[in-house]
Amino acid sequence: MEIRWTEEAVKQLENTLDFWREHNYSDAYPNKIINELNKVELAIAEKPYFLAKFVESIRLYQRHFLKGKFSLYYDIIEEENVIVIKFFRSSSQEPL
């Protein structure tokens, strides 16, 4: 399946990467996040329901990665063969 990101999700990811870059004075952790994100995107594209939890209140699937520190929230549009990532969240943020 094709993966698309909403502008909001991209902005959330960029803000998170910027935070860790400034907090650690290094690109090491942001690069680790990106590497793990690439792996989880590939996994979701192949098997979008595997290891995903459906969050009824927001009607999106949630997939944790990097030992549960981050989550992707996404919608699956079967008829278009597309996955739309709507939110990128840190586990330390308020739940959606």
Query: What SS3 class is residue 15?
Result: helix
pLDDT for 57 equals 96
pLDDT for 93 equals 81
The whole-model pTM stands at 0.93
pLDDT digits (tens, 9 = 90+) for 36-93: 999 999 999 999 999 999 999 999 999 999 999 999 999 999 999 999 999 999 988 8
Going from N- to C-terminal start, the domains of the chain cover 2-90
The CATH code of domain 2-90 reads 3.30.2310.20
Q: Where are the beta strands (DSSP E) in the chain?
A: 2-5, 53-55, 60-65, 70-77, 82-90
pLDDT for 43 equals 98
pLDDT for 92 equals 84
Give yes or no for residue 35 having a pLDDT over 90.
Answer: yes
Tell me which amino acid residue 91 is: S
